[in-house]
A and B are shown apart, each in its own frame.
Chain A
Amino acid sequence: MAVTRKPTPRPADAALSDTVAAEAKVREFIERGGKVAGEEEPEVARKLVQLRLPFELLARVDRALKARTVPPSRHNWFLEAIHEKLAREENHEARERPAP
């Protein structure tokens, strides 16, 4: 039989996926702490960028932060936003690209 139905995840698969998601949350929580002596700093070079925002836009960001159960720092919120937009645009570009 060449055509089969889409497999239904078994409870064990769902549980594993929950565990992986929970571990990712824990890792994110731990990484928010300050580094300790001897801990490796990421080797990525970073550039300081100034961001000029209208007060109202910044106030909206702060409202969005406050709405979160565990609010990240503003800096981390901006990083999340940048990553989300990049991922969206990169996916869009990949879909639009003609097949080779």
Chain B
Amino acid sequence: MIVVVGGIKGGSGKTTVATNLAVMRAKGADVLLVDADDQETSFDFTVLRNERTENRAGYTCIKLTGAGLRTETQRLAEKYQDIIIDTGGRDTTSQRAALSVAHALLVPFVPRSFDVWTLEKVARLVAEVQAVNDRLIAHAFINRADPRGQDNEQAAEVIRDTPALSFLDTPIGNRKAFANAGALGLGVAELTPSDPKATIEMRTLFERLFNVAPTLRAVGSA
């Protein structure tokens, strides 16, 4: 499966999600992580991960940008079981090229007005993609969710009202564990001491996206 972690708003946690999905998926599949963002953070994360694990990141990461991403991804899709593409937070030729060959688009939304206001543009982009790639399914979920308050549910409601996007009710909280794990080149599930809530949230999103059987149970409310 080719998954694009995208959207048109910066700071929504795309790279954190893409790298964690790659780490989790690599436990059972041959995974390619494509860094299509100018900031190249996924690539840097993987360099660090390889340094700390004696080149046992578990997956391959490459940098690819621009319109050529389409043909390269098509070619590489024959060699890998799954390709996860981390795009930047803009509507670029890179993101469009990735979407033109993808099976799934995963859009993280921070429960804030400025982020939710981009929904309409994301929906328009999805409609455009589906005119050239009718197999693409677009999913959205709440990322960096608040620990309490109404904002998560209000943002979820707006996303549910957007027919172009299928809403995944698998919120991920705004937890320090993600930053701590990233700084060490680890997925959040690999962090010691562990953060069970962060692990379960990421695992649940992963299972829903890749349609794999649940392996963990909730350990209490977020």
Contacts and interface: CB of A to CB of B under 8 A. Distances in A.
A93 interface: no
A36 B131 contact: no
B90 A29 contact: no
B88 interface: yes
The bracket for how many chain A residues form the interface is 10 to 19
B129 A30 contact: no
Interface in A24-58: 25-27, 29-39
B67 A70 contact: no
A71 to B, nearest CB: 9
B95 A39 contact: no
Given A29-B100, A33-B92, A33-B95, A39 B128 contact: no
B100 A33 contact: no
Interface in B71-107: 88, 90-97, 100
A10 to B, nearest CB: 25
Contact of A29 (B65, B66, B88, B96): B96
Contacts of A31: 67, 93
B9 interface: no
B153 interface: no
B97 A30 contact: yes
Contacts of A26: 70, 100, 132-133
A30 B128 contact: no
A33 B36 CA distance: 13
Contacts of A34: 90-93
B127 A70 contact: yes
Contacts of A29: 96, 100, 128-129, 131-132
Given A33-B92, A33-B96, A27 B128 contact: no
Contacts of A64: none
A35 B127 contact: no
A22 interface: yes
A33 B67 CA distance: 9
17 contacts: A22-B132, A25-B131, A27-B67, A30-B70, A30-B97, A30-B100, A31-B67, A33-B93, A33-B94, A34-B91, A34-B93, A36-B36, A36-B94, A37-B65, A38-B66, A39-B93, A70-B128
Interface of A: 22, 25-27, 29-39, 69-70
Given A30-B70, A30-B100, A38-B38, 17 more contacts: A22-B132, A25-B131, A27-B67, A29-B128, A30-B67, A30-B96, A31-B67, A32-B96, A33-B95, A33-B96, A33-B97, A34-B92, A36-B38, A38-B66, A39-B93, A69-B131, A70-B127
